[in-house]
């Protein structure tokens, strides 16, 4: 009788225990495998440009080849998202201040009012470092066409918005890699997206140094 009971218990252990043991053994093997590295999406080539900077010289897209840069669009009379975008850019500049491979580019969508001197004062207010963060101005139609056709972000003139709100433009920041390819769009007013931009920029920087 006892032998029969032992046989049944042993059979039950084999029947139920073996599958669980098999599962946890191979689960441990799978968990030990290296995880697939995160990849940053690639979009299209960033548009070519050449504009005046707030320092009175010029900056072109060709001069940024080999560098990683973040671009955004603002106007200095903006009372909406622009100050927040510029604060985000200032924070990014601080994070990557010691990386010469990283640049920041801010395009004015209101060059008629954003003169060189106005942009220079605005840049100073946000601590723009010379040679690191550039504020650009050019012909309005050219800048808007570049934004909409090249970067594919909207800029709309809305005079009904009142003073300081004449333009509806993108809150997105654009990440461009060292080969001039757009690698991401991030809402510069949203913390989680700003964190993602920060992380992706750092990942591109690691890839650049390999």
| Strand partners for 58 | 52
Give the model confidence (pLDDT) of 61-97 as tens digits.
999 999 999 999 999 998 888 999 999 999 999 999 9
pTM higher than the cut 0.85: no
The domain limits of the chain are: 1-35, 50-209
Contacts of 78 (CB under 8 A, 6+ apart): 164, 165, 167
Helix axes 82-95, 191-209, angle to 10 degrees: 40
Give the model confidence (pLDDT) of 127-150 as tens digits.
999 999 999 999 999 999 999 999
Q: How do the residues of the chain divide into helix, strand and coil, expressed in percent and rounded to 5? A: 45, 20, 35
Look at residue 102 and tell me whether its pLDDT is greater than 60: yes
The topology under which CATH files domain 50-209 is Glutaredoxin (3.40.30)
């Amino acid at each position: 009788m006892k032998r029969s009971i032992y046989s049944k218990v042993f059979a039950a252990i084999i029947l139920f225990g073996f599958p669980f043991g098999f599962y946890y053994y191979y689960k441990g093997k799978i968990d030990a495998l290296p995880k697939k590295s995160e990849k940053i999406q690639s979009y299209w080539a960033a548009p070519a440009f050449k504009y005046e900077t707030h320092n009175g010289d010029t900056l072109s897209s060709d001069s940024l080849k080999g560098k990683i840069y973040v671009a955004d669009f603002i106007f200095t009379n903006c009372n909406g998202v622009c100050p927040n975008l510029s604060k985000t850019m200032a924070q990014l500049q601080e994070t990557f201040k010691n990386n010469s491979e990283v640049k920041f580019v801010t395009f004015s969508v209101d060059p008629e009012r954003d003169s060189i001197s106005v942009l220079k004062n605005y840049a100073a207010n946000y601590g723009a470092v010379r040679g690191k963060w550039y504020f650009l101005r050019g012909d309005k139609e050219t800048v808007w066409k570049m934004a909409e056709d090249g970067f594919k972000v909207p800029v709309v003139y809305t005079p009904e918005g009142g003073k300081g709100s004449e333009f509806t433009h993108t809150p997105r920041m654009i990440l461009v890699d060292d080969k001039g390819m757009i690698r991401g769009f991030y809402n510069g007013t949203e913390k989680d997206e700003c964190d993602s931009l920060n992380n992706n920029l750092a990942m591109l920087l690691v890839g650049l140094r390999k």
